[in-house]
């Protein structure tokens, strides 16, 4: 940012906002937005607290308080009849301080005395995503009361304390705590700032030599997975085996290529991770990904690995891999009856959760979720599994319309059939409920018209962990499809304030990624405002390159096919003009998006200004060359996998030709840009470069948000 400061005369329309051509925002807009902002302040689940004689146990949740920009952490009792909501964190709630994860633990003895309970946390300070590791604990659960530690966060009036475990400018993430609570594994760029490697440290019997004194403590650890080429390694730890002997991990080259490895973590010496090759794979190695690799939670089956992969076809599916016998059992693999899957699911699967008693996962059916459970038979499976051990059961829930959900099980407290679930929907963001599968697994399941098994279960809501009910009209999404320039069918989520009975303006919002998906609950923060206050329809297209429709669809925008996704937007504009005149005013169409969606806004204005009214781009890519050269070192190689390697002359020439910055003179309608000053993914220079050219011809506005990174301020409202 500093190289541009001297060239731009910024105004300050609000605290932490530097702006060009942005005047004061009318108070009526803040007033009108307040009710929509309140509903967006939902709750997210972070995990079950470990219970003991001193710790009653509860559920950790995240929530953004009123008038705050970032989420804080809370505790609720596991009893759904309680109304208690205890706030744990009281950080400065201005800009920065993004809590990325909060992993409960039984305790650790890093300072020579046991600090029981609490959690390990990943948090940055300015939005630059240089996440650090922190320890949260409460004095009442410790063997001694620790003196104030140098660098400890001031968390008053909260009773919990936060000690910083790392103190550098690298990034830490992907924490995994072993089921035994003896080991912690995490990923970090601390080797060289470019490669993300995996490290291991002990939680108990750690013998670190540190004392219960005020001196800062730097977490000791040893390298588990080393780099495999300078600047090309991004290891992701997936699961520690139940016997603490092995670690499953993946090497992320991109969503389409993510191989699986297993490494021995016993002893003091580092071992080389062993590449896993599943027998009978049907896809090319470099077009195959492995995710959600989780070791069995049954000590008698520590060698069993459950995972999701697209190694056997276009869609991701759930399989079981025996690491000793090197055999595979297929759970959901579709289209290949010779593999004898237990229940073929012809859609992408995700969200695999493994407990000692069952598997849980979801299928993404055109943007709506279907949940499945599979009771396990054997040691630790629990009473009632019996003959239903190999049945994959659809989970049907009351008042759930298939919107996305996240879940975690109460395994460490001995109740593996008890799940706490985070629901979101088109009605409101983030409410929390309890699902207890114990009785459902004991009873005989029902069958649907096709003969498939299902169980019915009723969520029990935590009423204190629900956002304010909407004080405005809400609209369910409809599935809209249109044919693109080459005949490809492109799906969209579509919301209309008049249920299609009158022609209204429309906002086309394009997701980022590009490997992401607009689903049944997708809503930008101004979604309700657009529908109710401005009377606009909203369309969320899943252009080629989106996830959720198989790897072939996801790869249809790679490298030299980049602008084919932009042509999808052109086809949508034509579809609106030709087929939706009774619903949409074709002369009043705006396009908006963030990150890669920001690039799509720029590119759409370059190609289709004559068909658009205006554009709003948040933290978007304006020039692929400067983006690839200036994005954070830790992610550059993976972005080249998607967009192309700018060091290749042919690729560079292509990226130069299609970059919106080099075609900015073609933008002929107003454009508003917002960008975080600390953005390490898409540096703020992308916005400023485009401003310098396009603002000379068209009306433009630019907001630069201080102490904010890649989208934080815009997601927080």
Instruction: Give residue 95's pLDDT band: very low, low, confident or very high (50, 70, 90).
Output: low
Which residue in the block uniquely carries the two structure tokens 């996305």? 404
Name the strands in the sheet holding 160-164, side by side, starting at the edge strand that comes first in the sequence: 99-104, 119-123, 132-138, 160-164
Q: Is 519 exposed, middle or buried (0-12, 13-18, 19+ CB in 10 A)?
A: buried
Query: Which runs of E-coded beta strand occur in 289-442?
Result: 290-295, 304-309, 317-322, 327-330, 348-354, 358-365, 368-375, 393-397, 405-410, 415-423, 431-436
Residue range 639-684, pLDDT digits in tens:
998 999 999 999 999 999 999 999 999 999 999 999 988 888 999 9
Task: Determine the average pLDDT of the residues in 177-195.
Answer: 95
Backbone φ and ψ of 2, nearest 5°: -60, -30
What are the residue ranges spanned by the domains of the chain?
2-36+472-716, 96-268
Q: Higher model confidence: residue 711 or residue 248?
A: 248
Instruction: Give residue 309's pLDDT band: very low, low, confident or very high (50, 70, 90).
Output: very high
Q: Give the pLDDT score at 717.
A: 27
Q: Give the pLDDT score at 377.
A: 67
Instruction: Give residue 713's pLDDT band: very low, low, confident or very high (50, 70, 90).
Output: very low
550-555 contacts: CB < 8 A, separation 24 or more? 550/310, 550/314, 550/315, 550/348, 551/256, 551/283, 551/287, 551/289, 551/310, 551/314, 551/315, 552/314, 554/255, 554/256, 554/515, 555/256, 555/287
Instruction: Give residue 383's pLDDT band: very low, low, confident or very high (50, 70, 90).
Output: very low
Q: Which two tokens stand for residue 485?
A: 């320039």
Residue range 529-541, pLDDT digits in tens:
999 999 999 999 9
Note if the pTM is more than 0.85.
yes
Instruction: Give residue 252's pLDDT band: very low, low, confident or very high (50, 70, 90).
Output: very high
Answer whether the bond into residue 514 is a cis peptide, omega within 30°: yes
Residue range 584-594, pLDDT digits in tens:
999 999 999 99
Taking the C-alpha atoms of residue 379 and residue 569, their distance in angstroms, rounded to an integer, is: 54
Instruction: Give residue 714's pLDDT band: very low, low, confident or very high (50, 70, 90).
Output: very low
CATH 3.40.50.1820 fits 2-36+472-716, yes or no: yes
Shortest CA distance to 251 belongs to which of 231, 228, 270? 228
Q: Which two tokens stand for residue 623?
A: 């020039």
Residue range 547-577, pLDDT digits in tens:
999 999 999 999 999 999 999 999 999 999 9
Residue 203, pLDDT above cutoff 50: yes
Q: Give the pLDDT score at 525.
A: 83
Taking the C-alpha atoms of residue 374 and residue 363, their distance in angstroms, rounded to an integer, is: 14
């Amino acid at each position: 940012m500093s190289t541009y400061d001297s060239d731009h005369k910024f105004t300050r329309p609000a605290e932490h906002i530097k702006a060009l051509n942005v005047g004061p925002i009318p108070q009526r807009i803040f007033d009108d937005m307040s009710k929509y902002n309140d509903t967006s302040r939902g709750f997210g689940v972070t995990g079950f607290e470990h219970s003991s004689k001193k710790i009653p146990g509860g559920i950790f949740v995240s929530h953004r308080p009123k008038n705050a920009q970032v989420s804080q952490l809370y505790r609720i009792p596991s009893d759904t009849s309680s109304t208690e909501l205890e706030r744990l964190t009281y950080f400065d709630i201005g800009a920065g301080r993004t809590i990325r994860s909060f992993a409960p633990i039984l305790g650790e003895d890093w300072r020579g005395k046991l600090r029981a309970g609490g959690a390990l946390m990943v948090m940055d300070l300015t939005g630059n995503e240089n996440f650090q590791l922190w320890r949260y604990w409460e004095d009442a659960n410790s063997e001694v009361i620790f003196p104030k530690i140098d660098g400890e966060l001031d968390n008053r009036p909260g009773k919990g304390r936060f000690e910083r475990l790392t103190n550098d400018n690298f990034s830490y993430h992907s924490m995994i705590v072993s089921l035994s609570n003896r080991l912690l594994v995490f990923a970090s760029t601390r080797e060289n700032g470019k490669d993300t490697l995996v490290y291991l440290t002990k939680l108990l019997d750690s013998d670190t030599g540190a004392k219960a004194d005020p001196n800062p403590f730097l977490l000791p650890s040893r390298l588990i997975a080393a780099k495999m080429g300078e600047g090309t390694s991004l290891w992701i730890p997936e699961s520690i085996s139940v016997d603490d002997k092995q670690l499953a991990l993946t090497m992320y080259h991109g969503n389409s290529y993510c191989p699986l490895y297993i490494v021995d973590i016993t002893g003091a010496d580092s071992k080389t991770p062993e590449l896993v090759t599943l027998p009978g794979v049907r896809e090319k190695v470099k077009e195959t990904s492995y995710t959600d690799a989780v070791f069995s939670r049954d000590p008698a089956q520590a060698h069993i690995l459950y995972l999701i992969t697209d190694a056997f076809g276009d869609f991701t599916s759930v399989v079981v891999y025996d690491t000793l016998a090197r055999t595979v059992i297929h759970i959901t693999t579709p289209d290949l009856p010779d593999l004898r899957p237990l229940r073929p699911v012809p859609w992408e699967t995700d969200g695999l959760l493994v407990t000692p008693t069952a598997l849980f996962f979801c299928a993404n059916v055109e943007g709506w979720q279907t949940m499945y459970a599979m009771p396990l038979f054997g040691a630790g499976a629990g009473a009632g599994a019996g003959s239903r051990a190999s049945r994959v059961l659809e989970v049907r829930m009351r008042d759930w319309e298939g919107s996305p959900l996240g879940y975690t099980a109460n395994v460490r407290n001995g109740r593996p059939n008890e799940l706490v679930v985070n629901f979101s929907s088109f009605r409101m963001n983030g409410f929390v409920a309890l699902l207890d599968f114990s009785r459902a697994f004991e009873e005989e399941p029902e069958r649907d018209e096709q003969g498939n098994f299902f169980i019915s279960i009723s969520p029990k809501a935590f009423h204190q962990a629900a956002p304010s009910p909407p004080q405005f009209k809400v609209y369910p999404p409809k599935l809209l499809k249109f044919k693109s320039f080459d005949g490809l069918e492109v799906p969209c989520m579509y919301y209309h304030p008049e249920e299609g009975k009158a022609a209204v303006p429309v906002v086309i919002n394009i997701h980022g990624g590009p490997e992401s998906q607009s689903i049944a609950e997708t809503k930008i923060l101004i979604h309700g405002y657009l529908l109710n206050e401005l009377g606009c329809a909203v369309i969320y297209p899943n252009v080629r390159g989106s996830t959720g429709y198989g790897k072939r669809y996801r790869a249809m925008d790679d490298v030299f096919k980049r602008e084919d996704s932009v042509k999808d937007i052109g086809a949508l504009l034509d579809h609106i003009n030709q087929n939706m005149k009774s619903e949409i005013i074709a002369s009043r169409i705006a396009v908006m998006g963030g990150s890669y969606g920001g690039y799509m806004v720029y590119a759409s204005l370059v190609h289709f200004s004559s068909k658009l009214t205006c554009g709003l781009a948040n933290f978007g890519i304006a020039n692929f060359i400067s983006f690839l050269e200036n994005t954070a070192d830790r992610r550059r190689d993976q972005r080249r996998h998607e967009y192309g390697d700018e060091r290749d002359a042919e690729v560079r020439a292509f990226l130069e030709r299609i970059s919106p910055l080099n075609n900015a003179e073609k933008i002929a309608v107003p454009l508003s840009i917002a960008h975080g000053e600390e953005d390490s993914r898409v540096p703020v220079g992308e916005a400023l470069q485009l401003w310098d050219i396009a603002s000379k011809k068209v009306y433009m506005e630019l907001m630069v948000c201080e102490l904010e990174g890649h989208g934080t301020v815009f997601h927080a409202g």
